[in-house]
Amino acid sequence: MTYGIDFGTSNCAVARWQPDGSYVVPFDSANVSADWYGFGGEQVFPSVFGTSETTGEAMFGWRAKLLADERADAIKRLLNGHHYVTVGSRRYTSGHVATLMFRAIREGMRRAGAELDEAVVTVPAKATGQARFRTREAAHLAGIRTLSLINEPTAAAMAYVDLIRENGRFLVYDWGGGTVDATVLDYEDGVLIERAASGRTELGGVDIDAALRQAVRSRFKNHPSWTAHHARQFRLEVERAKIQLSTEEVVTILSPAGDEVVDLERTEFEHLVKDLVDGSMEPVIEVLSDLRLDPDTVDAVIMVGGSSRMPIARRTLTELLGQEPVAQELLDPMTAVGMGAAFAAAALRQDVDDTICVVTANALGTKVRDEHGASFSTIIPRNSPLPISDGRTYVPRRPLVSEVDVEVWEGDPDRALSDPFNQMLKKLRIPYPRPTPQADARFRLDFTYGEDGRVSVRAEIVKTGVVLFDDVIDVFEENEKQSDRAKEKEAIRAELEAVFGAVAASSAPTSTPPPTPAETSPVSSRRVPTRPVPRPPTYSPPSDVAPVVLVVDGSNVAWSGRDRAAGEKPSIAALSDALDALLATFPSAEIKVVVDANLRHQVEQSEKPLVENAVQSGRWLQPPAGTIGAGDALVLAIAEITEGRVVSNDSYREFQDAHPWLRSGHRMLGATLVGTHWIFLDRKPPAGTSAAQVVTKPAGAVAHALPAGWQDSGWKSQEALAGPRRRATEAFGPVSENYYMSPLDSK
């Protein structure tokens, strides 16, 4: 049988492929209590693991969500490293809890009469290599072979493709429990390619729940000190009320002590969450702006994730993009990802005619050091179709080489190596058979990335062909020794055996008698010293403080929505409209406009005098001619001095180190033309890097892995290479073969 698993932060969904399509298997629906029934939640399995204080019983899914006293949820957020969570008196690694979750899913499916032993599993588009690896390993330890790991938005688009079967460009907006992501994909004749993705990891349904709890609590007249049990009940009550408000105009919320009720209307609720909803639109704006795409070029807008079911989210996205998203009745936002994963599994197993192309979400490479310092040397570029194998040649820096330290890095070569997005997956100390002079020590480093997310490394001395290393990477942290890892795996296996005898019963419908404490003892009785559980970062809503000075990056706004690749020019008419709209939106603001010196040469002939007049009269500022890129610097300098806000869709990557305030979330406004209206929203540009590192992307190497036309239409826009960055390209050239790495002094 062919299955897909959406391993979500809040909910998991499992779908099965049958000859006539994907079907969700609602294997935990018997555990949904009556007051939660009917909102679509019965299709999914809450990603919650918990225990009962009194019996020590281990619980999963709906039982854990509704009944557990101690619990671990949102475990998926912690799979990007070796994190711990504490449940009851026990401390678990995040991978351990994920394994328990997968096993609980497998047991639930078994009770539903299905043997779930292999599946396509989904991960967030932005998941790091570690998160991918840990997800696959957790499934594997639970007895589920991962046919392939695919990105959630790709899976959602596949579910749509399975229904519609038409080529086109899709925008997937996925707003779930903890994160919001926007992804643009192109589908052509059976191949789906992710064009670009943007997201926020700290904005989801849980943040909406927190805002709502605060508002409702303040409206209760009695404020008794609630017990932990009351607080848990209140959380559930508020989340349920929120979900109900997606279909009803008013809900009644009962205080956990049962002595008061509060009525909440949808209009009131929408007022409360408006800022959060607006914040969820930022990735959409970013992804379109990164690709320089007009919303009109999107053929279908696919909304998935539970939070996207709120009418206000659908309305706002419709207004922003000027088109109605695909109807929920056609594609269920809670299960589309799982259904698409089942379709992908069918394609991989060749049960259907479609082929799917799984591509790498991040680049894989190694750390090199040359006279400019350490940088990311790409071996397998982002968006490479899997499976892929590629290599490059390196020369150790030491005159006599007895070993090299090879670091395997994953991430974005455009960002500084120290950027948190870039992660070292592994450091390997590879010995040479004998001390070798540098001239003979040149080695070729090959990485292989499998469809299932597995990474293998091979190192070979070029001159002699001696293989120095050839193995699969299955241990990540430097200090995580193979033997420790083996021990941990063994412990997990033993515990799975012990717990799931019990869980098989405990996750059964609520009428099943609870297991005896002895059966669950491995979960509840062992005491392990606890350490603090890392807290996820909290979302700070955009500030609505009236700006004093707005510094408009005129060139950027004039280019907004214009397709350079298609030969379009920047529009001064559009810029003027944007300035009018800005003044109407912020009537008390002082607006300063900066344009690049070459803007007047780029615009249509008829608009040239408009630019020249505005500059000559001093209404618009322009840095001296010949200083390409100085416009950006001037914009930022003015904004810094005046403590103003920058109006632009640029990320100013190479300026972020000098102006860290750019990423505070309150100092930039994005400008987007929606139909005939300009909209300005707070934005936080993605983290950037310095000029020299930007050019380490080997443009040629990326091109071979990308579909035709990709680069022309905005992979790396011309503007991104303008000014200082273009000069840097000339100065350093692209990353070459045969450049040096410093294995021993790179520590």
255 binds, among Mg ion, ligand ATP, none (CB under 5 to 8 A by kind): none
* Interaction partner, residue 128 (Mg ion, ligand ATP, none; CB < 5-8 Å by kind): none
Q: Figure out which of the listed residues 243, 264, 611, 639 binds ligand ATP, where binding follows CB under 6 A.
A: 243
Question: Which residue among 146, 148, 198, 246 contacts ligand ATP (CB under 6 A)?
Answer: 246
344 makes contact with ligand ATP (CB under 6 A): no
Give the one residue of 146, 151, 154, 307 binding ligand ATP; rule: CB under 6 A: 307
Residue, CB closest to ligand ATP: 205
d(CA 657, CA 675): 35
Closest approach of Mg ion to the CB of residue 162, in Å: 18
CB-nearer residue toward Mg ion: 180 or 614: 180
Q: Select the span of 7-15, 77-85, 90-98, 593-601 touching Mg ion (CB under 5 A).
A: 7-15
Closest listed residue to residue 632, CA positions, set 655, 609, 649: 655
Closest CA to 146 of 99, 85, 215, 89: 99
Q: Return the residue of 3, 4, 8, 523 that touches Mg ion, per CB under 5 A.
A: 8
Q: Binding of ligand ATP at residue 9 (CB under 6 A)?
A: yes
How far apart CA 279 and CA 288 sit, in angstroms, is: 15
Binding segment toward ligand ATP, per CB under 6 A, in 128-136, 307-315, 319-327, 567-575 = 307-315
Tokens 């190694």 correspond to what residue? 366
| Contact partner, 283, from ligand ATP, Mg ion, none, Cβ < 5-8 Å per class | none
Cβ closest to Mg ion, residue 76 vs residue 195: 76
Piece of the chain touching ligand ATP by CB under 6 A; list 172-180, 279-287, 461-469, 689-697: 172-180
Cβ of residue 248: shortest distance to ligand ATP, in angstroms?
Answer: 10
**Closer residue to Mg ion in complex, CB, 308/362:** 308
623 Cβ contact partners less than 8 Å away, ≥ 6 residues apart: 594, 596, 597, 630, 631, 633, 634
CA atoms of 389 and 457, how far apart (whole Å): 10
Q: Which does 690 bind (CB under 5 to 8 A by kind): ligand ATP, Mg ion, none?
A: none
d(CA 335, CA 15): 8
Angle 123-126-129 (CA atoms, 0-180°, nearest 5)?
75
Q: Is the dihedral of CA 324, 277, 680, 168 positive or negative?
A: negative
Residue 653 binds which of Mg ion, ligand ATP, none (CB < 5-8 A, kind-dependent) = none
Nearest CA among 682, 719, 666, 716 for reference residue 696: 716
Q: Residue from 2, 4, 5, 11 that binds ligand ATP (CB under 6 A)?
A: 11
Q: How far apart, in Å, are the Cα atoms of 379 and each of 375, 393, 698, 734?
A: 13, 10, 9, 13
Six-digit token string for 641: 């001095």
Quick check: helix, strand or coil at residue 351? coil
Segment near ligand ATP (CB under 6 A), from 6-14, 470-478, 573-581, 647-655? Answer: 6-14
Let me know: does 385 contact 361? Beta carbons within 8 Å: no
Mark 124-163 with x for binding to Mg ion (rule: CB under 5 A) and - for no binding: ----------------------------------------
Q: Which of 138, 172, 334, 380 binds ligand ATP (CB under 6 A)?
A: 334
What CA–CA distance (Å, rounded) separates 66 from 653? Answer: 45
Q: By CB under 5 A, is residue 340 in contact with Mg ion? A: no
Asked if 335 interacts with ligand ATP (CB under 6 A), we say no
Report whether 343 contacts 157 (CB < 8 A). no
CA distances from 694 to 284, 414, 726 (A): 24, 5, 10
Kindly give the interhelix angle for 517-524 and 482-506, rounded to the nearest 10 degrees.
Answer: 150
Residue nearer to ligand ATP on the CB measure, 337 or 735: 337
Q: Is 176 in the site for ligand ATP (CB under 6 A)?
A: yes
Q: How many CB atoms are located within 10 Å of the residue 412 CB?
A: 18
Query: Which residue of 71, 195, 309, 314 would you call a contact of ligand ATP, by CB under 6 A?
Result: 309
Among 633, 628, 627, which residue's Cα sits nearest to residue 646? Answer: 633
Which tokens is 171 given? Answer: 């925008």
- Per-residue contact flags (x/-) with ligand ATP for residues 597 to 626, judged by CB under 6 A: ------------------------------
Q: Which is nearer to ligand ATP, 181 or 290 (CB)?
A: 181
User: Does position 183 bind ligand ATP by CB under 6 A?
Assistant: no
- With CB cut-offs between 5 and 8 Å by kind, which of Mg ion, ligand ATP, none does residue 182 bind? none
Tokens of 419: 């950027």
Cα gap 581→733, rounded to integer Å? 43
Q: What is the torsional sign of CA 42, 59, 48, 136? A: negative
Task: Looking at residues 57 to 76 of the shown chain, list those that interact with ligand ATP (rule: CB under 6 A).
Answer: 76
With contacts defined by CB under 5 A, how many residues of the chain interact with Mg ion? 2
Residue 16 or residue 242: which is nearer to ligand ATP going by CB? 242
Cβ atoms within 10 Å, residue 287: 22
The site string for Mg ion over 172-191 (x = CB under 5 A, - otherwise) reads ----x---------------
CB of 346 to ligand ATP, least distance (A): 22
End-to-end CA separation in angstroms for the chain: 48
> Which residues lie closer than 8 Å to 86 by C-beta, 6 or more apart?
72, 92, 530, 533
Q: Binding of Mg ion at residue 46 (CB under 5 A)?
A: no
Assess 242 for contact with ligand ATP (CB under 6 A).
yes
Nearest distance, CB of residue 668 and ligand ATP, angstroms = 25
For residues 301 and 404, which CB has a smaller minimum distance to Mg ion in the complex?
Answer: 301
With H, G, I as helix, E, B as strand and everything else as coil, classify residue 168: strand
Q: Which of 183-191, 301-309, 696-704, 734-742 is the region at the interface with ligand ATP (rule: CB under 6 A)? A: 301-309
- Angle, helices 94-111/129-141, rounded to nearest 10 degrees: 50
Q: How far is the CB of 587 from ligand ATP (least distance, A)?
A: 35
Is there a contact between 309 and 180 (Cβ–Cβ < 8 Å)? no
Question: Could you give the 3-state DSSP secondary structure of residue 614?
Answer: helix
Residue 256 sits in the site that holds ligand ATP (CB under 6 A)? no
- CA distance linking residue 34 with residue 37, whole number of Å: 5
To ligand ATP, the closest distance from the beta carbon of 46 in angstroms equals: 8
Interface positions, 75-114, toward ligand ATP (CB under 6 A): 76
Q: Six-digit token pair at 100?
A: 């328990």
C-alpha 75, offset from chain centre: 15
Residue 565: how many CB atoms within 10 A of its CB?
13
Contacts with ligand ATP, residue ranges (CB under 6 A): 8-11, 39, 76, 174, 176-179, 204-206, 239, 242-243, 246, 305-307, 309-310, 334
Contacts with Mg ion, residue ranges (CB under 5 A): 8, 176
